[in-house]
Chain A
Amino acid sequence: MSEFKQTFNSSLGKKLIMALTGLFLCTFLIVHLGGNLLLFKDDQGFAFNSYANFLTHFPPIEVIAYILYISIIVHAVYALVLTIKNRRARPVGYAVQPKSDASWSSKNMGLLGSILLLFIVIHMSDFWFVYKYDHVLKFKEYRTDLATNVTTVGEYVPQVAEFERSISTENNVEIVRVKDIHARVQESFSKLWYVAFYVIAMGAVAFHLLHGFQSAFRTLGWVHRKYQPIVYFFGTWFFGVIIPLGFAAMPVVYFIQSLSK
């Protein structure tokens, strides 16, 4: 067995993989939230649709996206492998459940992770897959007068079936024609059960990261009494509160908006 294989097959090696993929997914969340905040821009989805279009057509992002998908799969698979190994380490359980002081989230990472995996599958099939491979999405055309910087919106019906997007400038007017994922978002987030599922999933994100973020640092061995409080603070308030709240706000706000329509 090569030394690297040995390293990553060891108990600590598997933990290292969990930690590295986990932290990578954490950084992705920051970017994802940043982008999705465009949903709150009152521009009939111009910014958001452009952003979605950018993500799917800018090659370096594509590469990172694939790393991301692999990370999710590896994180999930290793979690499963580790869980099975951990279960085997205690073939006979206790009659009285352990009452040790340990946070609820740390003891339920598997459950939380499973919710998140389910969420990711649904989320991606509803948005990412639909956007990329399904041809059900309509197109929008945003015309921006470059002189006045006023944007008007209209439907666009592609001439050819393979149409993906176009950006052109005619008479000092920039015309952007893109898939209207924004409409899909509006539609999805008008369903109560769907919004509820999203909010629950974001709760799961909160608890998963509440433990996961600082745990990753421990696994990597980056624990120092001077920096540990910072990691805790960041893990708790940023990843445990702000990020999940930010994400959860989107379906909630859209749902409330849908009520007034």
Chain B
Amino acid sequence: MNLTLKVWRQKNSQTAGKFVTYKAEGISEDMSFLEMLDVVNESLTKKNDEPIYFDHDCREGICGSCSLYINGHPHGPKKAITTCQLHMRTFKDGETITIEPWRSAAFPVIKDLGTDRSAFDRIQQAGGFISVNTGGAQDANAILIPKVVADEAFNSATCIGCGACVAACKNASAMLFVSAKITQLGLLPQGQPERYSRVQAMVAQMDEEGFGNCTNTGACEAECPKEITLTNIARMNNDFFSAKLFREEGVHDHVGGE
């Protein structure tokens, strides 16, 4: 199949970008979307032109590196998959595909379609953990966790940190991402001691990064490749208000914060 690509090209974060049109020819429908871009890049390289930069790594939908906003959808039009799992048979011969980077003030473009998502790391660093040192743990079976709770925590823990929620949200809000971690640790017994300081610390960092606000449209949930639900955000809200209005813990009562 032959396709026309409209691709966002931008040299670095300081320069302005623009769309450039490329022809992708002789594309097999068995190719993944990224393999299609590989083919385009190979032909650009042969002409000694700069290949299109995009983040990618595992190519099996788990590392969360790949992004790409394809024809109005983060990770393309199919549900519950990442761009690397999107196959070209999803598209029609002759179709024009517009490929843009994630758009968010908190995710500056570093080159072409690649963005800097380190804001997510900083939010996790603010409190997305349980403060245990290596070595002191009790026997794993000393903590009983109802299966339903373990499963629910797992559902939240499947987040791959790709940022599609931010990309899909009309407000560029990161609340689905943040709430998934807060929910995972907030549901588990191991996470209880820091539950109310964690939510405050992570929300504070999220606000600092310049993400927008959740208006519960549900676009994030619809586009999330791991189908993280909106309920996580509600759980985060609940914990946050509970922490702020009724609990003793402050923001800095976390990780031995000085």
A and B: interacting chains: yes
The residues of A with any CB-CB pair to B shorter than 8 Å are 3, 6-7, 10-16, 82, 85-86, 88-103, 106-107, 109, 211, 214-215, 217-223, 225
* B216/A89 in contact, CB under 8 A: no
Between A and B, 11 residue pairs with Cβ closer than 8 Å are A12-B237, A12-B240, A15-B237, A89-B211, A98-B219, A106-B217, A218-B233, A219-B214, A219-B234, A221-B234, A221-B238
> How would residues 194 to 235 of chain B score, 1 for a CB under 8 Å from any chain A CB and 0 otherwise?
000000000110110011111111110011000000110111
Closest approach, in angstroms, between the C-beta of A30 and any C-beta of chain B? 22
Q: Is A86's CB under 8 angstroms from B219's CB?
A: no
Least Cβ–Cβ distance between B244 and chain A, in angstroms: 4
CB pair A103–B218 under 8 Å, yes or no, is yes
B170 to A220, Cβ gap below 8 A? no
- Asked if B103 and A94 sit within 8 Å, CB to CB, the answer is yes
Complexed CA–CA distance, A11 and B202 (Å): 12
The tally of residues in B whose CB lies under 8 Å from a CB in A reads 51
Q: How far is the CA of A82 from the CA of B211 in the complex (A)?
A: 11
Other-chain contact of A221, B104, B203, B217, B235 (Cβ < 8 Å): B235
Is B100's CB under 8 angstroms from A10's CB? no
Q: Give a binary string over B239-258; 1 marks a CB under 8 Å from any A CB, 0 the rest.
A: 11110110000100000000
Residue pair A12, B241 in contact (C-beta under 8 Å): yes
Q: Which residues of A contact B204 (CB under 8 A)?
A: 10
Say whether, besides A12-B241, A102-B218, A102-B222, A94 and B72 are in contact (CB < 8 Å): yes
Residues of chain B touching chain A, judged by Cβ–Cβ distance below 8 Å, are 6, 19, 69, 71-74, 77, 98, 100, 103-106, 168, 170-173, 175, 203-204, 206-207, 210-219, 222-223, 230-231, 233-242, 244-245, 250
Contacts A11-B213, A98-B72, A218-B237 given; does A91 touch B105 at CB 8 Å: yes
A10 cross-chain contacts in B, Cβ below 8 A: 203-204, 207, 240
Contacts A89-B212, A98-B219, A103-B218 hold; do A222 and B238 have CB atoms under 8 A apart?
yes
Contact check, B216 vs A90: say whether CB atoms are below 8 A apart: no
- Tell me which of A12, A82, A90, A221 contacts B172 (CB under 8 A): A90
Question: How distant is A234 from chain B, measured CB to nearest CB, in Å?
Answer: 16
